[in-house]
Amino acid sequence: MQYGTISNWNEDKGFGFIVSTSGGKAIFTHISDYSKSHRKPSKGLQVQYILANDAKGRICAVKVVPLNGHKKRSTPIRQTYSSMLLLLSFTSITIFFFNNNLMPITLIALYTAMSIITFIIYANDKSAARTDAWRTPERTLHTLSLFGGWPGATLAQSFLSHKSKKPSFKVTHWVTIVANCGVVYWLITP
């Protein structure tokens, strides 16, 4: 176990550097290697960690945990409940429209298929982020959401904790949800 201080943290990109208390070169760490039961890391936070090698053989910090402070966060639980409420509401509205012959079954099948595909792509992208492999561009993830995959994207953000922290991504995600629902509503109503 090593001890150090986060010397730099890039919230948008989800990575930063730790300077060991014993000195030496700053060590890279990624948000996926940070404790899931604590608030997000920040500059100046004292942490403990384990040294490891990434997929390219570079030294990095894993199993990063704050030494004190940074109480457990409740945001993921709220986000999960919010996501489930959103999806339950969407499902109820979809069933209502279908029962009143306003929404064809093909549209429901499209939402289901796109959601499954989008969830799988989010899962693959999360795995790629951990192994430093090729990543799915954010534009592709937003396009999938726009064309009906947003329920799967919302579930992936909640249950996989992927792409759920970056503010600009979250805003664009909500824009795709509103745009998709607006277009579908326009198409199915007189």
Is the separation of the CB atoms in 134 and 104 below 8 Å? no
- Domain shared by 172 and 95, yes or no: yes
Say which CATH number the domain at 60 has.
2.40.50.140
Q: What is the pLDDT of residue 75?
A: 52
Share of the chain above pLDDT 70, in %: 95
Is the separation of the CB atoms in 52 and 131 below 8 Å? no
Cα–Cα distance list, 34 to 100, 139, 145, 160, 166 (Å): 48, 26, 28, 14, 16
pLDDT at position 187 over 70: yes
List, for residues 129-157, the tens digit of each pLDDT value. 888 788 999 999 999 999 999 999 998 88
- Domain shared by 122 and 158, yes or no: yes
- Domain shared by 100 and 152, yes or no: yes
Q: Which domain holds residue 166?
A: 75-188
Q: Which of 66, 89, 113 is the last residue of a domain?
A: 66
Q: Which of 66, 90, 112 is the last residue of a domain?
A: 66
- Domain shared by 80 and 48, yes or no: no
d(C-alpha 94, C-alpha 41), whole Å = 40
- Domain shared by 61 and 147, yes or no: no
- The arithmetic mean of pLDDT across residues 46-58, rounded, is 91
164 confidence band (pLDDT: 50, 70, 90): confident
121 confidence band (pLDDT: 50, 70, 90): very high
Q: Is 151 exposed, middle or buried (0-12, 13-18, 19+ CB in 10 A)?
A: buried
- Domain shared by 49 and 80, yes or no: no
- Domain shared by 173 and 90, yes or no: yes
pLDDT at position 76 over 70: no
pTM of full prediction above 0.85: no
- Domain shared by 142 and 112, yes or no: yes
- Domain shared by 148 and 111, yes or no: yes
Is the separation of the CB atoms in 36 and 161 below 8 Å? yes
Q: Which of 49, 66, 83 is the last residue of a domain?
A: 66
- Domain shared by 117 and 36, yes or no: no
- Domain shared by 41 and 89, yes or no: no
- Domain shared by 87 and 48, yes or no: no
